[in-house]
């Protein structure tokens, strides 16, 4: 059994890495002895074991490892797509692999499509209307559409779909999902978005994010690093993840207000309760806009100048190190969705800052929708008040997590099992 996993971004994003690793583990459980190829935007960031191969994705054809677009490669896109189209049609009609003039990297990807018995889109959030011309959306959709063209069964691990503001993207997703055999969504907001564009799929289900299945290995490296930078590290400990909001949304009028809100909430909490705050490097690339460390440093430097015990960790960390550290926190103030999921699965109460609606959906699934602040409405007063309220209600929230997480994890484990059942002809 050959499986091609598409739409994998980068292992330098801890959330993406865990979505990939959990997906691989679940597929290997359902398809023992399978051979898996991963098509990644940043293939050099991940070193798989011998049964798995990582190759460049369609997006990687046109980007460097740091996420920058290669202009010369973009100019050759029509020629590359024409070769890919010809290859797919000849493969589908004759079962033969047409010799190509394309580079070795591109041939590897096309051959992976040709050899696959099924194609699975990795969990994530890439089918949404971004800024600019929407090229990342187009390439993510094409990664699945090409599998349809070459005649392979398509599946999709739990995704967030939307927001979809452009009609062309709505039409593209409606057509694409209609040809996916089992559509798995990770929140009700995505289900509403799919319904709003007119898709009525007989096998469309909402399942929790598969990151809820991840368990670290009690690696305390990050706490040791924080202790070295803040000798006498004292409780309560507040864990924090932030994003470069200016890099994510160029049209937001006041991205600096978001960082000011985080700083104000930490300032007020530390002055009221003591302890320390640790800002974690949840995502370190591949592009500069995706790197969480610059905004973390700005916030930490500001608070340290005021004499407050705050540290921004700089070294890239493994998911196991991050989840273990998040579990040692007394509270967590997280903007990165999967940093919040890591903290929640470790039993830490979370106040989530939502920069896309995927965060609202995941928190609502846990009954924690009251503990989400939209990044557009994040003000110093609002985040400060909410963090203090979280502290006062932390015991009740820990108890709630103990009750709800087992069922969430049971549901998340169904995703790969449903793919296997459908491929075998059994409707979930």
pLDDT of residue 209: 94
Task: State the average pLDDT over residues 181-188.
Answer: 93
Is residue 71 a part of any domain in this protein? yes
pLDDT of residue 93: 86
Tokens of 89: 């049609």
- Report, as an integer, the average pLDDT of 318-327: 94
94 with 226, same domain? no
Task: Tell whether 328 and 185 lie within a shared domain.
Answer: no
pLDDT band at 247 (very low <50, low <70, confident <90, very high): low
Q: Please list, in sequence order, all residues whose beta carbon lies within 8 angstroms of the beta carbon of residue 137, skipping any fewer than 6 positions away.
A: 126, 127, 128, 129, 130, 169, 172
For residues 311 and 281, state if they share a domain: yes
Residue 192 resides in a domain: yes
In a domain, 214, yes or no: no
State how many domains the chain has.
2
What's the confidence (pLDDT) of residue 79? 87
Indicate the pLDDT class of residue 249, thresholds 50, 70 and 90: low
**Mean predicted confidence (pLDDT) in 20-33:** 94
Q: Identify the domain boundary among 206, 232, 265.
A: 206
Out of 78-87, 205-214, 299-308, which region has the weakest mean confidence (pLDDT)? 78-87
Mean pLDDT of 374-401: 96
**Residues 244 and 391 both lie in one domain:** yes
Mean pLDDT on 363-387: 95
Question: Is 27 contained in some domain?
Answer: yes
Q: What is the mean pLDDT of the chain?
A: 91
**Is the Cβ–Cβ distance between 182 and 121 less than 8 Å?**
no
- Pick from 32-41, 68-77, 162-171, 210-219: least confident: 68-77
Whether 254 has a pLDDT exceeding 80, the answer reads: no
Range from 139-148, 195-204, 249-258 carrying the lowest mean pLDDT? 249-258
pLDDT of residue 426: 67
Q: φ and ψ at 234, to 5 degrees?
A: -120, 155
Same domain (yes/no): 309, 374: yes
pLDDT, position 92: 86
pLDDT of residue 428: 53
Residue 419 forms part of a structural domain? no
Are 300 and 180 in a shared domain?
Answer: no
164-191 mean pLDDT? 93
- Is residue 237 included in any domain, yes or no? yes
Q: Are residues 226 and 202 in the same domain?
A: no
Distance CA 69, CA 312 (A): 30
Domain of residue 93 covers 2-206
- 67: left (phi > 0), else alpha (psi -120 to 50), else beta? left
pLDDT(184) > 60: yes
Question: Predicted confidence band at 49 (pLDDT cuts at 50, 70, 90)?
Answer: confident
Task: Give the pairing type, strands 52-56 and 182-185.
Answer: unpaired
Of 206, 241, 268, which closes a domain? 206
Cα 380–Cα 385–Cα 388 angle in degrees, nearest 5: 125
Res. 122: pLDDT tops 90: yes
Judgement on whether residues 314 and 381 belong to the same structural domain of the protein:
yes
Same domain, residue pair 40 and 128: yes
pLDDT at residue 427 in the model: 57
- pLDDT tier at 399 (50, 70, 90 boundaries)? very high
CATH number at residue 301: 3.40.50.2000
Taking 60 as the threshold, does the pLDDT of residue 265 lie above it?
Answer: yes
Determine the pLDDT at residue 130: 77
Residues 244 and 140 in one domain: no
Q: Do residues 241 and 368 share a domain?
A: yes
Band of the pLDDT at 100, cuts 50, 70, 90? confident
248 band by pLDDT with thresholds 50, 70 and 90? low
Encode pLDDT of 200-246 as tens digits: 999 999 999 999 999 878 889 999 999 999 998 999 999 999 999 87
pLDDT band at 72 (very low <50, low <70, confident <90, very high): confident
- Return the CATH number at 35: 3.40.50.11930
Range from 77-81, 269-273, 399-403, 406-410 carrying the lowest mean pLDDT? 77-81
pTM of the model as a whole: 0.89
Range of lowest pLDDT (61-70, 307-316, 357-366): 61-70
Q: Of the residues 171, 206, 241, which one is the last residue of a structural domain?
A: 206
For residue 101, is pLDDT > 70?
A: no
Write down the pLDDT at residue 51.
Answer: 80
3-state SS record for the chain: CEEEEEEECCCCEHHHHHHHHHHHHHHHHHCCCCEEEEEECCHHHCCCCCCEEEEECCHHHCECCCCCECHHHHHCHHHHHHHHHHHHHHHHHHCCCCCCCCCHHHHHHHHHHHHCCEEEECCEEEECCCCCCCHHHHHHHHHHHHHHHCCCCEEEEEEEECCCCCHHHHHHHHHHHHCCCEEEECCHHHHHHHHHCCCCCCCEEECCCHHHHCCCCCCCHHHHHHHHHCCCCCCCEEEEECCCHHHHCCCCCCHHHHHHHHHHHHHHHHHHHCCEEEECCCECCCCHHHCCHHHHHHHHHHHHHCCCCEEECCCCCCHHHHHHHHHCCCEEEECCHHHHHHHHHCCCCEEEEECCHHHHHHHHHCCCHHHEEEHHHCCHHHHHHHHHHHHHCHHHHHHHHHHHHHHHHHHHCHHHHHHHHHHCCCCC
Q: What is the mean pLDDT of residues 352-364?
A: 91
Residue 412 belongs to a domain: no
Confidence of residue 372 (pLDDT cuts 50, 70, 90): very high
Residue 160 lies in a domain: yes
Q: Within this chain, do residues 16 and 133 fall inside the same structural domain, yes or no?
A: yes
Instruction: Give me the residues paired with residue 331 across strands.
Output: 238
């Amino acid at each position: 059994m050959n499986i091609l996993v598409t739409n994998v971004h980068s292992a330098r994003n801890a959330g993406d890495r865990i979505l990939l690793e959990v997906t691989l583990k679940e597929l290997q459980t359902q398809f023992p002895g399978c051979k898996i190829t991963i098509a990644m935007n940043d293939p050099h960031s991940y070193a798989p074991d011998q049964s798995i191969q990582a190759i460049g994705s369609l997006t990687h054809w046109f980007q460097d490892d740091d996420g920058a677009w290669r202009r010369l490669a973009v100019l050759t896109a029509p020629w590359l797509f024409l070769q890919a189209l010809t290859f797919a049609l000849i493969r589908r009609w004759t079962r033969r692999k047409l010799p190509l003039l394309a580079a070795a990297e591109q041939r590897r990807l096309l051959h992976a499509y040709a050899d696959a018995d099924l194609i699975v889109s990795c969990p994530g959030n890439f089918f949404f209307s971004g800024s600019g011309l929407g090229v990342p959306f187009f390439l993510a959709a094409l990664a699945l559409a090409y599998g349809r063209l070459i005649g392979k069964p398509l599946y999709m691990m739990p995704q967030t779909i939307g927001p979809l503001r452009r009609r062309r993207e709505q039409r593209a997703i409606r057509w694409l999902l209609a040809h996916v055999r089992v559509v798995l969504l990770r929140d009700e907001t995505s289900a509403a978005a799919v319904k709003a564009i007119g898709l009525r799929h007989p096998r469309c289900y909402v399942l929790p994010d598969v990151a809820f299945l991840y368990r670290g290995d009690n690696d305390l490296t990050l706490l040791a690093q924080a202790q070295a930078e803040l000798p006498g590290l004292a409780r309560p400990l507040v864990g924090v993840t932030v994003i470069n909001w200016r890099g994510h949304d160029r049209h937001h009028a006041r991205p600096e207000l978001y960082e000011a809100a985080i700083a104000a909430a930490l300032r007020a909490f530390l002055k009221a309760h003591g302890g320390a705050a640790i800002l974690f490097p949840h995502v370190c690339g591949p592009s500069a806009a995706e790197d969480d460390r610059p905004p973390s440093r700005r916030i930490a430097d500001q608070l340290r100048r005021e004499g407050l015990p705050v540290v921004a960790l700089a070294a890239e960390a493994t998911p196991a190190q991050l989840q273990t550290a998040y579990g040692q926190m007394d509270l967590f103030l997280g903007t990165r969705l999967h940093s919040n999921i890591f903290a929640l699965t470790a039993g830490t109460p979370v106040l989530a800052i939502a920069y896309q609606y995927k965060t609202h959906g995941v928190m609502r699934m846990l009954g924690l929708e009251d503990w989400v602040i939209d990044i557009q409405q994040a003000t110093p007063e609002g985040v400060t008040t909410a963090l203090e309220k979280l502290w006062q209600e932390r015991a009740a929230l820990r108890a709630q997590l103990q009750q709800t997480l087992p069922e969430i994890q049971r549901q998340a484990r169904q995703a790969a099992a449903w793919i296997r059942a459908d491929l075998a002809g059994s409707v979930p």
